[in-house]
Amino acid sequence: MSVPRTSSGSARTVLRFVPHLGLLLAVIAVVLLALVPIGWRGGWWPYRFSLLSLMAYSAYFGIAAVIVSVLALVISVFGRSAIGRGGFAIAILALAAGGLTAYVPWHYRTLARSVPPIDDITTDTDNPPAFVAVIKLREAEDSNPPTYAGTETAALQKRGYPDLAPLSLALAPDKAFPIALATAKKMSWTIVEADPTTRRIEASEHSFWMGFTDDIVVRVAAVDSGSRIDVRSASRHGRSDLGVNAARIGTYLAALREAEKPGN
Instruction: Examine the fold and report which residue of 88, 114, 140 is the final residue of a domain before the chain moves on.
Output: 114
* Number of domains the chain is built from: 2
Beta-bridged to residue 195, according to DSSP, are: 200
**pLDDT tens digit string along 17-30?**
888 999 999 999 99
Whether 156 and 226 map to the same domain: the answer is yes
- Count the alpha carbons within 13 Å of 178 in the hemisphere toward its beta carbon: 4
CATH number at residue 232: 3.30.530.50
For 263, list phi and psi in degrees, rounded to 5.
95, -10
Whether 22 and 92 map to the same domain: the answer is yes
Whether 131 and 245 map to the same domain: the answer is yes
Whether 92 and 130 map to the same domain: the answer is no
Whether 126 and 255 map to the same domain: the answer is yes
C-alpha angle 241/193/224, rounded to 5°? 85
C-alpha angle 17/23/29, rounded to 5°? 140
Instruction: Examine the fold and report which residue of 114, 143, 165 is the final residue of a domain before the chain moves on.
Output: 114
Q: Helix (H) and strand (E) counts for the chain? A: 8, 6
Whether 145 and 255 map to the same domain: the answer is yes
Contacts of 40 (CB under 8 A, 6+ apart): 46, 47, 50, 210, 211
Give the residue-averaged pLDDT of 257-264: 78
The per-residue pLDDT of the chain, averaged, comes to 90
Whether 88 and 185 map to the same domain: the answer is no
Whether 169 and 55 map to the same domain: the answer is no
CA separation for the pair 223, 173 (Å, rounded): 9
Whether 158 and 213 map to the same domain: the answer is yes
Instruction: Examine the fold and report which residue of 114, 146, 171 is the final residue of a domain before the chain moves on.
Output: 114
pLDDT reported for residue 263: 64
Q: Which domain holds residue 199?
A: 120-260
Q: Answer for the pair 214, 235: CB distance below 8 angstroms, yes or no.
A: yes
**What's the pTM value of the predicted model, to 2 decimals?**
0.84
**pLDDT tens digit string along 156-212?**
999 999 999 999 999 999 999 999 999 999 999 999 999 999 999 999 999 988 989
Whether 94 and 187 map to the same domain: the answer is no
Nearest one of 200, 204, 229, 203 to 214, comparing CA atoms = 204
pLDDT reported for residue 14: 60
Whether 168 and 70 map to the same domain: the answer is no
Whether 69 and 129 map to the same domain: the answer is no
